[in-house]
Amino acid sequence: MKPDSFKAPDYYNLDDLLSEEHLLVRSTARQWVKHHISPIIEAYAQKAEFPKQIIKGLAEIGAFGSYIPTEYGGAGLDQISYGIIMQEIERGDSGIRSTASVQSSLVMYPIYNYGTEEQRKKYLPKLASGEWIGCFGLTEPNHGSNPNGMETKFKDMGDHYLLNGAKLWISNAPFADIAVIWAKNEEGRIHGLLVERGMEGFSTPETHNKWSLRASATGELIFDNVKVPKENLLSGKNGLGAPLGCLDSARYGIAWGAIGVAMDCYDTALRYAKERVQFGKPIAAFQLQQKKLAEMITEITKAQLLAFRLGQLKNESKATSAQISMAKRNNVEMALKIAREARQILGAMGISGEYSIMRHMMNLESVITYEGTHDIHLLITGADITGISAFQ
């Protein structure tokens, strides 16, 4: 792969709006990605393997529990810093950002917000340091966009819960030490349970043959009469709103992460267009190529403004779920379109692993589907503005 000479575009001087802390967090994450992700990521994506050796480094840059208070091992940063870290990591690879956002928003977030003090003390420091990796099980073979229909269930056996069911398409599952899983009790109410690797009847087979997110490990979670201790219930919140609350946090991170991918593709395409000569001129001199590049920087700038404002709203605890959906949907589609256009600017070189673009493009096919599909987020906006749900 080419050496990483990434230069981030900032067409509207948005850096002026960032604090000293934001800039420091960004430069730390950016340097780390340059040194520890860019040189290895293509090889790991090609062999479809997650590079486990980076876990400690991810913890060190504050990617695990960025906004979780320091007393629980988190980095104690604000929401904009969390977004910036996701942006920088996803600039390297969406699969690596997946591991970080699952750990932070889908595992540490519910333990911090819905867990007991004992659960926070037991799990959060281990997750923040990367000693333990977590995963989040909501999607099932028969229930993806409609998690309310889930079939995984647990029964109160007096001194423990008995858990049965299966989850599919779960990031980090094959090597996770702990799974936050969502299941229905005997009354059909959704609850979160903490299932640890090693519990009898719990297995995590890996899902192979992915064309996307190849450097991220994806798997199933199978529960065959798993005895879950009662103290592993997340008792602070139940109902579908509990897992969806976690998704709000993860979707917010993805809205920033997608900008990282778009910036990387734009930067690569701009540099290539200025260097590649055809018909006696750099291809950047042709109007058709300029149109592509000009539209890219326009869309990136709009997405940056959307993410920054959403970050301010998140910091003030004012961001609505529908606002988060709009940003996730817009920014991921923006990044995917830019990846496709950038790939064309590179001609045949665009399909080569020498450059990051094709990997980003393939990764985004997962990002546009997980955490709520592109169409589901459109329906969330539709329901929000009309007051009428069109899901059913």
The whole-angstrom separation of Cα 301 and Cα 12 is 7
- Per CB under 6 A, the list member of 8, 54, 170, 361 interacting with ligand FAD is 170
Binding residues for ligand FAD, total number by CB under 6 A: 21
In the bound state with ligand TGC, the residue whose beta carbon lies nearer, of 249 and 289, is 249
Alpha carbons within 13 angstroms on the beta-carbon side of residue 210 total 27
Strand partners, 226: 163
SS3 labels along 191-236: EEEEEECCCCCEECCECCCCCCCCCCCEEEEEEEEEEEEHHHEECC
Name the residue with the smallest CB distance to ligand FAD.
144
Phi, psi of 375 (to 5 degrees): -70, -35
Tell me which amino acid residue 190 is.
Answer: I
Nearest CB to ligand FAD, comparing residues 138 and 342: 138
207 binds ligand TGC (CB under 6 A): no
Looking only at residues 226 through 245 of this chain, which bind ligand TGC when binding is defined by CB under 6 A?
Answer: 239-241, 244-245
Residues contacting 209, CB < 8 A, separation 6+:
none
* Selection from 50, 39, 55, 2 nearest residue 210 by Cα: 50
Residues 202-241 that bind ligand FAD (CB under 6 A): 213, 218
* Number of other residues whose CB lies within 10 A of the CB of residue 23: 12
Binding partner of residue 369 among ligand FAD, ligand TGC, none, CB cut-off 5 to 8 Å per kind = ligand FAD
Decide if residue 375 touches ligand FAD (CB under 6 A).
yes
DSSP state of 140: B
Does 174 help bind ligand TGC (rule: CB under 6 A)?
A: no
Active site residue 295: no
Which one of ligand FAD, ligand TGC, none is in contact with 375 (Cβ closer than 5 to 8 A by kind)?
A: ligand FAD
State in angstroms the smallest separation of the CB of 241 from ligand TGC.
4
Distances (CA, A) of 361 to 91, 121, 128, 198, 332: 12, 39, 30, 36, 11
Q: Among ligand FAD, ligand TGC, none, what does residue 321 contact (CB within 5–8 Å per kind)?
A: ligand TGC
Q: Does 102 bind ligand FAD (CB under 6 A)?
A: yes
Name the binder of 247 from ligand TGC, ligand FAD, none, CB < 5-8 A by kind.
ligand TGC
Q: Choosing from 88, 220, 333, 371, which is the catalytic residue?
A: 371
Q: How far is CA 279 from CA 34, 276, 284, 287, 344, in A?
A: 34, 10, 12, 14, 17
User: Residue numbers of the site for ligand FAD (CB under 6 A)?
Assistant: 102, 135-139, 144-145, 169-171, 213, 218, 366, 369-370, 373, 375-376, 379, 391
- Enumerate the active-site residues: 371
